[in-house]
């Protein structure tokens, strides 16, 4: 048996380091850490652990600015998922992850394994998953391969989530040419656990066994983390072998087996094998505990013959977990996993050396100090260039080319506002029987907690066009929008997870977008008591030098003490409509400006965080008092689109009052001013009086009833024609050949 790894020839090592994504100075650091040339396995370990995807080497300096603490936060960033206290001795465990690059290369499996990976991040903490959400960005459906990508991604999300038995309850979709060569697939999972039964990834106890459970290891997904840390080029199709293959039925068995073992006290630490597979799980667990770890790869359950140490350490085969058990509990754990027809193997033990040692076939294939791998990856404060501010547009100087009715019909049918039914109908949103507000029924999904009156409100939000125009305001708005959507159901917003999707961080303008978005998010999270508890960074989202729109996707979680108090957006007849918040008619970066006037320009609407807090707290109090029958926040498309969406959801029309003097009608109806909600109430006078006392801007908007939206000048649009325009777009694009 050899006790030192066989080093590569120096020139070959240097060449492979570049192929694996290590920069020359990073490779020099590897040489200094080891004091010798690395073996191929060692080089593989450094390349994946120091990849952007695993180390956050370009983003960590900025992410530190985000607020992460609150009295209800049990675990913030740094673990597999964030954990918050939701009352009754229960915790919500949640996180959002990206699977962008794999989903472009192999849409179905890329999206499916994204769902599988985020599920494991949650149940590895001891939480039973209760809901999935997603945030999707696609290019234009007529762009090359894009229909195939849209179809594959949606089927992949639905196929995996439906089979594993976790409802997909919400999400969002945007379309823009910037995503033509680089779609974004961000998956979020929320789970529930007792507050006193949370499991962590910190390995402790010299000699404790290292146990592999789940499915066998194959050659799929090797260098997936590295691939996800590079731009696409014309040969991206050749990267298909880096995409993992998912098995949702194995995942379901894995959830149940882990839950059964977690009910004992046998587990010291547990981690899923996600990006970088066995490498990241072993390195991170041992590193967090200040331990060393020794692995015997001969014991790893293998799906394919002749696998090398390098392949096993870097494989990203799915449905696998790594655990540290208490000594002597191996047989008990093995019984459970064998019962669920899953592989179980003791593949190593913890040491006190502070090193990872990998053995295979009598050879030491890697022997590396853990600290530099786990927590001392290169850290870059890359140059930033601020995004130039765009001018504030004067609504009065922008003529209305088509009129209110024609604009509304076009807007409700445009790609960013049309019905997502074609997508969500492919997802099972009701499995488990706890979904109280399905997709399209409310601003946030509402999922009750089994055997409790308590419920969670869940949403994903971001407006990339705002972020492109002004990253700081856009970052602010993304957080505020999530907070608003949760508030609009009556729930109290508690915390967020984020998925930071940006282009190449080595370009100062891209790094400037990232830094600006973080500043805006931090300000909003602080003002709204809405801390960040988990998240993911996905950089290098570019194809042949063209970057995506900056997309800091926000996943928000809130709590309702009583699910019966939740309200949706469907408009009942015979009610007063009231708008909460100030309307100035902000057209910069609005959908009206893009779709109707054919212009993408101007400063995005500013976000007044004090007004957000004041208006939202008022609306939530009114909902919980029982005064509000329906509520919808105002966002894309503005006030008239908000009312139209409520009308379409409820099958009821409304008669609308004239806009105030001094604001052009098209700006009033389609401006995207923030901090606004439309409420349907039985007594407008009482709401207006309460708003006045709370110093909250509020105004009558009209009255619900009939089958038409009746405009102030008497012209009307039937709700049926709005619904037809809204529902037709996606099926026509996707099924129309």
User: Positive or negative CA dihedral for 502, 505, 507, 510?
Assistant: positive
Spatial CA neighbour of 23 closest among 318, 378, 555: 378
Structure tokens, 50: 């120091």
- The 3-state DSSP class for residue 589 equals coil
The pLDDT tens digits of the residues spanning 403-455 come to 999 999 999 999 999 999 999 999 999 888 899 998 999 999 999 999 999 99
Please list the active-site residues. Answer: 53, 99
Residue 239 has what pLDDT? 47
Residue 433 has what pLDDT? 87
Q: Are strands 184-194 and 128-138 parallel, antiparallel or unpaired?
A: antiparallel
The pLDDT tens digits of the residues spanning 535-569 come to 999 999 998 889 999 999 999 999 999 999 999 99
What is the value of pTM for the model shown? 0.96
pLDDT at residue 39 is higher than 80: yes
The pLDDT tens digits of the residues spanning 465-514 come to 999 999 999 999 999 999 999 999 999 999 999 999 999 999 999 999 99
**In whole angstroms, what separates CA 429 from the centre of its chain?**
18
Mean pLDDT of the chain: 94
**In whole angstroms, what separates CA 172 from the centre of its chain?**
10
Q: In what order do the strands lie in the sheet with 267-272?
A: 267-272, 320-325, 209-214, 343-351, 292-296, 355-360, 363-369
The pLDDT tens digits of the residues spanning 667-725 come to 999 999 999 999 999 999 999 999 999 999 999 999 999 999 999 999 999 999 999 99
Residue 240 has what pLDDT? 43
Longest pairwise C-alpha distance within the chain: 89
Residue 237 has what pLDDT? 47
Please compute the mean of the pLDDT values over residues 134-141 and round it to a whole number. Answer: 96
Structure tokens, 355: 């090193």
How far from each other are the two terminal CA atoms of the chain, in whole angstroms? 62
Going by pLDDT thresholds of 50, 70 and 90, the confidence category of residue 376 is: confident
Please compute the mean of the pLDDT values over residues 644-654 and round it to a whole number. Answer: 98
pLDDT at residue 184 is higher than 90: yes
- The 3-state DSSP class for residue 532 equals strand
C-alpha to C-alpha distance for 484 and 528, rounded to whole angstroms:
10
Spatial CA neighbour of 638 closest among 606, 676, 600: 676
Please compute the mean of the pLDDT values over residues 276-297 and round it to a whole number. Answer: 95
């Amino acid at each position: 048996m050899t006790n030192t790894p066989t080093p590569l020839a120096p020139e070959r090592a240097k060449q492979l380091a570049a192929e694996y994504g290590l920069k020359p100075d990073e490779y020099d650091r590897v040489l200094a850490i080891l004091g010798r040339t690395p073996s191929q396995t060692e080089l593989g370990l450094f390349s994946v652990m120091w990849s952007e995807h695993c180390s956050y080497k370009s983003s960590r300096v900025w992410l530190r600015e985000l607020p992460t603490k609150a009295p209800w936060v049990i675990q913030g960033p740094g673990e597999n998922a964030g954990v918050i206290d939701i009352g009754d001795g229960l915790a919500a465990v949640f996180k959002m992850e990206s699977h962008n690059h794999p989903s472009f290369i192999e849409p179905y499996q890329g999206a499916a394994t994204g769902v599988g990976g985020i599920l494991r991040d949650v149940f590895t903490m001891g939480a039973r998953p209760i809901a999935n959400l997603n945030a999707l960005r696609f290019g234009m459906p007529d762009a090359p391969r894009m229909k195939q990508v849209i179809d594959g991604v949606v089927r992949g999300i639905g196929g995996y989530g439906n089979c594993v038995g976790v409802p997909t309850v919400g999400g969002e979709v945007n379309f823009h040419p910037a995503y033509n060569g680089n779609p974004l697939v961000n998956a979020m999972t929320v789970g529930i656990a007792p507050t006193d039964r949370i499991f962590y990834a910190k390995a402790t106890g010299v000699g404790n066994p290292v146990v592999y459970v789940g499915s066998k290891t194959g050659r799929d997904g090797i260098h997936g983390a590295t691939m996800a840390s590079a731009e696409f080029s014309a040969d991206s199709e050749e990267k298909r072998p880096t995409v993992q293959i998912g098995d949702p039925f194995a995942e379901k068995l894995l959830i149940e087996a882990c839950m059964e073992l977690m009910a004992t006290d046998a587990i010291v630490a547990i981690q899923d094998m996600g990006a970088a597979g066995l490498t990241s799980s072993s390195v991170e667990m041992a590193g967090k505990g200040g331990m060393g770890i020794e692995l015997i790869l001969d014991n790893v359950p293998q799906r394919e013959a002749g696998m090398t140490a390098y392949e096993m350490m870097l494989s990203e085969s799915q449905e696998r977990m790594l655990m540290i058990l208490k000594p002597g509990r191996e047989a008990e754990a093995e019984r459970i996993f064998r019962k669920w027809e899953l592989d179980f193997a003791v593949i190593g033990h913890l040491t006190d050396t502070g090193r990872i040692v990998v053995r295979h076939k009598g050879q030491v294939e890697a022997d590396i100090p853990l600290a530099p791998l786990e927590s001392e990856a290169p850290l870059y404060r890359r140059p930033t260039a601020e995004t130039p501010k765009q001018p504030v547009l004067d609504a009065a100087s922008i003529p209305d080319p088509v009129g209110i009715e024609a604009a509304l019909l076009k807007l409700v049918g445009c790609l960013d506002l049309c019905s997502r039914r074609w997508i969500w109908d492919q997802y099972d949103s009701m499995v488990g029987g706890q979904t109280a507000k399905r997709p399209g029924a409310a601003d946030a999904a509402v999922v009750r907690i089994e055997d409790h009156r308590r419920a969670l409100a869940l949403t994903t939000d971001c407006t990339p066009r705002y972020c492109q125009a002004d990253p700081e305001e856009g970052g602010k708005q993304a957080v505020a929008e999530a907070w608003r959507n949760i508030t609009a159901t009556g729930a109290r917003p508690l915390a967020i997870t984020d998925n930071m999707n940006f282009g190449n961080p080595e370009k100062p303008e891209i790094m400037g977008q990232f830094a600006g978005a973080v500043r805006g998010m931090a300000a909003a999270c602080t003002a709204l008591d809405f801390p960040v508890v988990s998240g993911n960074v996905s950089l290098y989202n570019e194809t042949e030098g063209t970057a995506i729109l900056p997309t800091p996707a926000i996943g928000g979680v809130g709590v309702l003490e009583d699910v019966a108090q939740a309200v949706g957006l469907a408009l009942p007849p015979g009610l007063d409509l009231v708008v909460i918040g100030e309307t100035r008619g902000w057209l910069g970066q609005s959908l009206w400006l893009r779709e109707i006037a054919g212009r993408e320009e101007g400063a995005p609407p500013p976000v007044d965080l004090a007004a957000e807090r004041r208006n939202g707290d008022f609306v939530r109090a009114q909902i919980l008092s029982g005064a509000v029958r329906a509520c919808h926040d105002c966002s894309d498309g503005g006030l008239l689109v908000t009312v139209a969406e409520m009308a379409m959801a409820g099958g009821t029309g409304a008669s609308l009052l004239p806009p105030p003097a001094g604001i052009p009608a098209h700006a009033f109806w389609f401006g995207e001013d923030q901090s606004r909600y439309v409420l349907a109430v039985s007594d407008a006078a009482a709401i207006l009086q309460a708003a006045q006392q709370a110093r909250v801007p509020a105004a009558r908007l009209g009255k619900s009833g009939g089958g038409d939206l009746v405009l102030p000048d008497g012209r009307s649009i039937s709700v049926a024609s709005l619904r037809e325009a809204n529902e037709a777009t996606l099926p026509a694009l996707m099924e129309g050949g």
